[in-house]
Amino acid sequence: MATLTWHGSSYPTQVLVLTGRSLRALLRTPALVFFSVLQPLIMLTLFSQIFSSITSTANFPPGMTYINYLLPAILVNTAMQSSLASGIGLVQDMSNGVLARFRSLPIRPSTVLLARNLSDAVRTAFQLVLMIAFGVLVFGFRPDGGMVGTLAALGLALVVGWALSWVFIAIAAWVRKAELMQTVGFLAMFPLMFASSAFVPVGGLPGWLQAIAKVNPLTYAVDAARSLALAHPVTGVVGALATSGAIAAVGAFFAVRGFRRPLSL
Amino acid sequence: MSELMIEATDVSKKFGDVHALDGVSVTAKRGSVLGLLGHNGAGKTTLINILTTMLPPSGGSAKIAGFDVVRQGHEVRSRIGLTGQFAAVDEQLSGHDNLVLIARLLGASRNQAHQRADDLLEQFDLTEAAKRNAKTYSGGMRRRLDLAASLVGRPEVLFLDEPTTGLDPASRLAMWEIVEKLAADGTTVLLTTQYLDEADRLADTITVLSKGKVVASGTSAELKAQVGQRTVTVTLDSASDVDIAMKAVNAVGLHPVVEGLTLTTPVSASRDLATVVRALDDNGLEAHEIGLKEPTLDDVYLTLAAN
């Protein structure tokens, strides 16, 4: 018989190896990386030009440039879009047979989910750094919070995206249909994005939209990121982090349960 | 070394009202090859899914290498290899990286993993394509990579779900040789197939599944004796030739059936083919077409259904 046999690696090794696998796959498909940064970049470019006249309206904080106002929102938004891609990535893994292979191995199913979540967080971090770089170099982003404040805003956006990624991984584990998730995800996010403080101050919205914006969690995430980057009195950062933690915990719980169901059903 | 490596007892699986498996029992000793024969929908893949811990059974129990598939899934999974009907490889990774990934997940060190990957790539004739994305592989190469991936951990029990379906004849033969070598090295193999010749060549014991039930099982010879026979068919040029041929073949102790210009007779050994040819030749007949037909899975089913 064989001289050496392997009976499964440790939990951290499984997570590390699987995370590495996703990142390596990403590096080997540069087109995917390119398009994943293209979308937020287009948004940054268009919005910074289209909405720049908002700075002269009554509700806009006096003395602030629009790019300083916009970029923290772009960070949160990019992280949110990226979390949807995380769920879709899991569905694609399920359908192309790789997960069937993993399931026949002596590894814990939750490591597959954790690895997907972590590798996507790395990808998101890369996207966010790139957005900030473009903001600074091309569009004149000069936040009062400086480097530290900007990095803090990046960190917050990353945590929000990480938490939402658990939600979409959970949905993916139950729904298992990429097209459906893409459509519903977009339909849910698109209005959320505009009915918030992301692009214009809430005070400038019509009354009914104001009502939505005030209960929209995205408003709080964007405001928190903005307060960090712009060195405003920090509001809602603890709340945003705590909410993210709670969302992540619930998402992860349902993700693991849903993922346990057999693949071939 | 006569311990049972596969032991399924009265396994059932229901999907809603459908009985995908209905009281199936199979066993395989260490180092043997168990052939699971059946058409699409017979329940072959469902049984494999249960034995590999992918699906829980609705009833009955199953053990792999002595470990229960429901309660000791981890133990089972660390002793098996699985190659399904569709290649389960990561298309975005190279062939080499695919195998390293599996080895690392199984607990190999980085060096061991690379070594094992290189060995398997060479064994499966994939060394030249090792660095290429699996996406660029042909169907046959993908299959080989998939099989290599299931062998990374040197499994004690290997499950092959229709390993040659869709392969060209050369790749098919290569796959057969690989399975034979694995079994010779002590690996227990369960393979499903729709082809009787494949089961005949590879399997020590064959279990025939139909609609979720075992309809026959035994060695290839036992099954054939129970089931179908080879037949010789002779097609002649005219009705008068058919009459002469009938008398000639009857005279040598075979009993053909006539349909149009074709005589069909069951035979028990391949030398009976020679007997038929000689009988025709002695009567100065020239056959338009003559052939020996192996019993097919359809014959097996027809016979089993008739019994």
Does pLDDT of B179 surpass 60? yes
Interface contact flag, A13 B104, Cβ < 8 Å: yes
Is B115 found in the same domain as B61? yes
Instruction: Tell me the pLDDT band of A129, cut-offs 50, 70 and 90.
Output: very high
Say if residue B236 is in the same domain as residue B127.
no
Note whether B108 contacts A: Cβ–Cβ < 8 A: yes
B189 and B107 in one domain?
Answer: yes
Do B11 and B142 share a domain, yes or no?
A: yes
Give tens-digit pLDDT for B136-169: 998 888 889 999 999 999 999 999 999 888 888 8
Is residue B46 within 8 Å of B56, Cβ to Cβ? Answer: no
Last residue within a domain, chosen from B202, B226, B250: B226
Which of B188, B208, B226 is the C-terminal boundary of a domain? B226
Q: What is the pLDDT of residue A233?
A: 86
Distances (CA, A) of A179 to A85, A91, A169, A182, B91: 12, 10, 15, 5, 20
State whether B68 and B161 are in the same domain: yes
Cα torsion angle, B105, B110, B112, B113, sign: positive
Contact between B90 and A18 using a beta-carbon 8 Å cutoff? no
Q: Kindly report the CATH number assigned to the domain that includes residue B243.
A: 3.30.70.100
More confident residue, B182 or B291: B182
Sign of CA dihedral B120, B124, B127, B129: negative
Q: Is B158 found in the same domain as B61?
A: yes
Domain endpoint, select from B226, B244, B275: B226
Q: Are B293 and B240 contained in the same domain? A: yes
Count: domains in chain B: 2
Residue A116: other Cβ atoms inside 10 A: 23
B106 Cβ under 8 Å from any chain A Cβ: yes
Please name the residues in contact with A119: beta carbons below 8 A apart, sequence gap of 6 or more: A18, A19, A22, A23, A26
Cβ(B118)–Cβ(B136) below 8 Å: no
Is there a single domain that holds both residue B128 and residue B18?
yes
Alpha-carbon distance values, A79 to A156, A163, A249, B19, B172 (Å)? 10, 10, 18, 46, 49
Q: Would the CB atoms of A21 and B93 count as touching at under 8 Å?
A: yes
CATH no. for residue B217? 3.40.50.300
Give chain B's mean pLDDT. 89
Q: B288 with B222, same domain?
A: no
B55 near A CB under 8 A: yes
CB contact under 8 A, B77 and A21: no
Q: Is the Cβ pair A105, B102 closer than 8 Å?
A: yes
Q: How does residue A2 score in pLDDT terms, banded at 50, 70 and 90?
A: very low
Contact between A2 and B155 under an 8 Å Cβ cutoff? The reply is no
Partners of residue B14 on adjacent β-strands: B19
Q: Are B112 and B103 in contact (CB under 8 A)?
A: yes
B10 plus B145 within the same structural domain: yes
Q: Please give the share of chain B, as a percent, with pLDDT higher than 90.
A: 51
Q: How far is A47 from chain B (nearest CA, A)?
A: 35
Tokens of A24: 């390596």
Confidence of residue A262 (pLDDT cuts 50, 70, 90): confident
Residues B162, B287, single domain; the answer is: no
Question: Which residues constitute the domain of residue B66?
Answer: 4-226
Whether B203 and B286 map to the same domain: the answer is: no
